[in-house]
Amino acid sequence: MPVSRPVAIGHDLVKGNAELQGPVAVSSKLKQRHISMIALGGAIGGGLFVGSSSAIAEAGPGAIVAFLVTGLFVMAVMTMLGRMVVAFPNQGSFVSYIRLGHGPCAGYLAGWLYWFFWVVAIGSEAIAGAVILHGWIPLPIWCLAVGIVMGLLLINIGAVHVFGETEFWLSLVKVLAIIFFIGLCSVFLVWNHGFSLHANPALRENMQVFPKGFVVILGIIPTALFTMLGAELGTVAAGDSASPQQTIARVTYSVGLRICSFYLCSLLLILLVTPWRDVMPGHSPFLTTLARIGVPHTVMIMQCVVLVAVLSCLNSSIYITSRILAEMARSGDAPQLFRSTDDTPPRKAVIASCLCGVVVAFSSILSPGGVFSFLLNCSGAVVLVVYVMISTAHYTLFRAKAGRQALGHVLRTALVIAFSAVTFLAMFIRPDQRATVVSCFITILFFLAIYAIRKQLSCRRAHVQLRS
């Protein structure tokens, strides 16, 4: 898609947001290969390797349709981000573009919702990694969880290129694992005449695309969406690169396509090798497929891959929460304590985010059905709200465009909002996901209330200063 030039309304908005301009005051040492792999790795995690089993078990081969539609949704949002970055450079992360398009209240809400989501991810991923390690190391799970977080904390408070290299290799392991899986399944199918209905019972059973009806697809869209979240991490990480504008523009236009390719190819090959009824929810379909092919030591292999995916997600979560917190501090939406003022990582923001993540991890041990469940529900769908805000900010910043391009902006925004509305409706209809929707809106109201209180107190202080 051709990139539009900046419009007049954009220049006015940029002037009105002068405090957001200028490069981010952190170490600019991430290369484009780091940014690309961070964005790609952010969307490839345990959700693909394990979570996709729920979608396949519930919808059968129709799960591919759900992941295809969801992938197009993610690509649309990433394309909007790329257009805004090119048209309005040097603004910061996507939170700054939401603030630019909708004002300070929307920027405050998007930043804190996003930070909250990834803080909960720190706690949940730490526990997931500790559970895997517990099978190899006879230490308490809480001890292993704290150890994992502390180890990655040390990486994140160091030079940013250390984080970049660590995340690059962790993400590369995930990508290579998927490529190896795709190649192995392809060889197996060709070698065993797997594309023949007579020779391949999986293909024969999976010929019915919608075995439980098409409506079931709507129910698994939330599952597909939450496995793909994280592609926008690259727009935040680009702030630590030498040329954020060019880096983000390249990453956003390519990473969405790569994510869709990896997801769709993997799921398609799983269903070409394995009958969908053999896939059990919560049990890795990759493990089931490798065992069916006859690969030895499949359990150990998948445990290692999932552990790498967990460590990668946890590493990115710590990074992203610290950068979002530091950016909000620069805009006045978070305590100035977390502001990064020199060419170093925002260490105080890293430590604060890790401490909050450890609290979440302990809540999963002390109160798994109470506090931890409540936190998971509250954070479950907030990123979807952020995606909607990105799309509407994109429309606001480009609505001065005339002709067919303006119509295209309207259609893209309308489709993103419609997809999000359908996702929320599908979640609300399902009894097991209804609490997530309700808790999500409670979380939004909570942060809006805090913003209103802060604004009221600020107005009172300004009034007192004027009188004095």
What residues does each domain of the chain span? 28-462
Q: pLDDT at position 205, please?
A: 65
Q: pLDDT at position 441, please?
A: 92
The helix/strand count (H/E) of the chain reads as: 20, 0
pLDDT along the chain (468 residues), means of 10: 35 39 50 82 82 86 89 86 78 86 93 94 92 91 94 91 90 92 89 64 68 78 82 77 69 75 90 87 88 87 91 92 92 88 82 95 86 81 90 84 63 88 87 87 94 88 75
Handedness of CA 440, 97, 417, 119 (dihedral sign): negative
Compute the distance between CA of residue 268 and CA of residue 262 in angstroms, rounded to an integer. 10
Q: pLDDT at position 405, please?
A: 59
Q: pLDDT at position 377, please?
A: 80
CB 56 within 8 A of CB 267: yes
Q: pLDDT at position 244, please?
A: 66
Q: pLDDT at position 24, please?
A: 42
DSSP for 339-389, written as a single string: ---SSS--HHHHHHHHHHHHHHHHHHHH-TTTHHHHHHHHHTTHHHHHHHH
SS3 206: coil
Compute the distance between CA of residue 411 and CA of residue 377 in angstroms, rounded to an integer. 31
pTM: 0.86
Alpha-carbon distance values, 291 to 169, 229, 287, 294, 333 (Å): 26, 28, 6, 5, 51
Q: pLDDT at position 40, please?
A: 80
Q: Does domain 28-462 have CATH number 1.20.1740.10?
A: yes
